Structure 1
Amino acid sequence: MPDPAVPPTPPVALSALLAREDLGLRQIAGPKDTNTVIHWAHTSEMADPYPYLLGGELLLSAGVHIPEAAGSGTYFDDYVSRIVAAGGAALGFGLAPVHDTVPRALVEACDTYGLPLLEVPPQTTFSGVARAVWQLMAQARHAELRRVTEAQQSLAAAASRPDPVRAVLRQLAQRIGGWAVLYGPEGAESASAGRAPDGQGPEAASAGRAAEATAAGRAAEIAAAGREPGDVVRGALAELAAVVRPSGPGTPTSATDTAAGTHLAAYALGAGQGFVLGVAAPHRDTGDHTIASVAAVLLSLLTGEHQSGSGAARSSALVRLLLGAEPEAVAPLLGSGGWLVVHGSPDAQPCDPVAAAALGAALGSPLVDLARDVVRVLVPADREPAPQPGWTLGVSAPATARDWPAADTQAARALSRARATRAPLHRHGTHRPALTDLLSPGEAEAHARALLAPLTPPLAETLRTWLSLHGSWDRTAVALAVHRNTVRQRIARCAALLGTDLDDPDVRMELWFALRHGER
């Protein structure tokens, strides 16, 4: 059976539940391992609970399902083995009203299969045990959220200090109680902080089981060749970092493994930078991944600056623009090639500067403009924007610096289209040969201006959006963030000013042609 899925809440130590004096629980069989944890409590009187378990449960039973002759056969062995096979963490057996004592054969079966067995006294209800589990989970969750919040604040403060890359690594290593290392684009260690791995974590005794993973398996072979455990961990972490270093569309952005009893994790930084954050710790707590992910975002921004000196180039470009230079003259300072304009709208309004910077880092560009409700990002055309969780994106066609204003308009309209269709990302249509290519651009634009002259810009934009959405009142209202009755009134006004029937498909086609050429 695959490893059981665990819920997004911290597990509860079985020892913590046993320590609750109000419950009066007593462990009478199975290993008394202080590392045993449970993820939830579940009551069942089924003779075979396997189909109803997800894994990690404290299964509670009063023994209603036990037949009278169970002690003389294999009933208890079969029962306990099925719980273990389903991933159950422990079994709680309630005394009264069915049984006055825990069946001896059940105790022996739990010892045989290594399943902790708890005796639940008559005065303790199963619902009381389940409530205690959830209370302990809530306490653990609160403590974990506080720990993660404090870590995020300390990492953000570290990023503003002198030598920010090493300051962030030091803070990360301190928060996870291990070692943090930054690998450069070529795979060499660029900077590190914390306690160097020695391969002596609490799970070192079970490293053989972890050897089923690729990197851990290689680490075990290296150890067998006579290398020190710390060298094994370093080598395995470097190999794990190579796995997430950008090499193609299918490259993972993060990966985890175990070597010589030490937990390993690697995180790719930014888009195409080549830097990787590696983490090694003797244990892995629930919030460690969140803390390391925050550090990875900060390091993505910092390494992007250090790698290319783009910060100084951007400042130079801004100064030259303010002093009167043309956009195409300063564009080479920002990079070569074409550009895409991306408009992003956060699902949770309003957007803050940290979220805007994170979007820019995810898209692979530090050129970010934060407006009231939309973030604009200027992205090199060779970096294909992908949908981002929590964002709705509109992407322009590739453009040179001279055409940035037109690309900005395209991105805005693509974002409106994405909102209307509830798509995470919409791209402005690429140009392809069409009948309109038979007309000269000058004649087409002159016709568009003459045809649309009676319309004000708000009316023209409403008409363009309405036509692009095939006359849908509701979707147009969503795209323009107005009431559907407002859309109806504007379209009726357009029909009156143009003196035409907007239900006629020929009229719609001509107006769409004019609107497309009028936006150039």
Structure 2
Amino acid sequence: MVSLSELCAVLGTHLVPVNGRSLPARELSGVHVSELVDPTPYLDGGELLLTTGMPLGGNPAATRQYVERLRSRGVHALGIGLGPWLAEVPEYLCAACDEAQIHLLAVPDGVPFQNVSRSYWALSARSGQAELMGSLGTQTSLAQAAMRPGGAAAVIRGLAQALGGWAAFLPSSGTEPVRYWPESTGALLPLLREETLRLNRAGTHSAATFELHGQPVVEYPIAAGGRIHGFLAVGPGRKLAAPDRQVIMTVCTLLALKARQREAASGAAAVLEGAVAKLVLHGHTEAARILAEDAGHPELPRRVRVLALAAGPGAGEGPQTGAEDLLGAAPALKPAPGVPPLPEQLSGCPLRHERDGVLYVLLSAEDCPQRETRIPAAQMPELSGAVSDPVSLAEVPGVLPGLRRALAQAAAGTLAGTAGPAHAAAEAWVRTLTAYPRADLAGTVTEYLRHRGHWENASRALGVHRNSLRHRIALASSLLGVDLDDPDVFAPLWLELRQRER
């Protein structure tokens, strides 16, 4: 952009200040020539208006009205071309311009107005080229920053500094952190999130402008791969110029590229994790451990519960294409008697594999991070599931036939188990013994059953007196309401307690 002082400096004696006011560095919006009495319909404001003085009317009253019209339009400066109409600038014109705070200049006789216009546009072109070079330099540095670790944060910081304001990136994923600069922008995040949610619900996937605390904010969607990955919010604190918008669009592109990179990395990780689960399901446990280690996956759990999920045709998508939807709805399945409910969030469980129309998932608490459920179970009325008892990785192939049978018998909206009634009762007994707060009843009963009811051997193993052991066993029998020496009781109870020890 070109200021009035720059233009006068270039033109020298061809454009001279008249009223003695110092020329500011304020930018001109253009140079316009008009001999109309009212040129304001053709002006935007901020111009240098050139005239020979013909529209002034030759008297103070007409001149004041003319200057007042220019002031109301926001004209920045008035240039009088001396010659045919005015040999010199009249005092009443100087007074009117001083009162309206419009800079008054003179163009000497014989100097074409075209010289002024040509000089303005030459300076404007030079300024635009400098701004473009500066913009390209900024874009280059932002692209370089994006390639480094923590690139997204560096890009946001660089954008805010380039605009002299603040910037924030609000990702759609709840697992990715919000990035903003400067630190004071953190106070705006709740309002930004609220506005972003509103725009997202309204389907506004183009740039939008709104106000926060009386200041304009521009928000841009970050789109890649056919979906919105987040929104870039910018508070420039000033009017954005064309180079500023180019820098912002460059940042949007860089953030979209980073999103695609994360998406590709996530997809590759999902393929490897699916391969690990497939090896476990086929009994190749050692190969699964080696692949998981080579892929940088956390150490595989020693024991897992295998979850099988199937959706009927009314669910829309099968397990192969709707794994996240199935896992999102699975926690709402109604467990059968004796079957514990599923964790509230399963969408983060990575060890899964689809086979024969069934999605198998290896459940472990540390493998299932907390993520928001994607869809409610009500939208998948034909979803059904079955879950195994805890088993070692080597035992996983052995539970699959039972899982498939339980899944085939499960009604829509229910979660079946693979254990019989005796096992379900044993699970409840162990939970009761473990929950007792005053003594280790579960450990006591385990040693009692391990030594087949021999008081001396069991008390020696526990390090307690025989009478103390008798008291604890009587207490356990009373709590459970069963006879621990009954084979139908101690057999399933012993197996369940053994599982607890592993």
TM-score class normalised by the smaller sequence: 0.3 to 0.5
TM-score, with length taken from structure 1 = 0.46
Q: Which has the larger Rg?
A: 2
